[in-house]
């Protein structure tokens, strides 16, 4: 029997499920003994673009100073 829409599954065959409180609210913080999570592809792309933008601004600034 599937749970009704909008309700979580709390019983299986009439027996209650035991759920650990830490499993219900995942944290973005790394757990002790675990590696830090890798940034997503989108975050990595944003970081690279921001570095590129910073480098371009420095180049433009230097070129502008040479012109004056």
Quote the pLDDT of residue 3: 52
Question: Could you read off the pLDDT tens digit of each residue along the chain, which spans 68 residues?
Answer: 555 555 555 666 666 665 555 555 555 666 667 777 777 999 999 999 999 999 999 999 999 999 98
Q: What is the pTM of this model?
A: 0.43
Quote the pLDDT of residue 39: 78
HEC readout, 3-21: CCCCCCCCEECCEECCCCH
Quote the pLDDT of residue 68: 82
């Amino acid at each position: 029997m599937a749970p009704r829409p909008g309700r979580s599954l709390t019983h299986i065959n009439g027996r209650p499920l035991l759920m650990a409180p830490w499993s219900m609210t995942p944290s973005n913080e790394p757990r002790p003994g675990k590696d830090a999570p890798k940034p997503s592809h989108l975050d990595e792309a944003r970081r690279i673009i921001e570095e590129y933008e910073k480098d371009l601004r420095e180049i433009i600034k230097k070129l502008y100073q040479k012109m004056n």
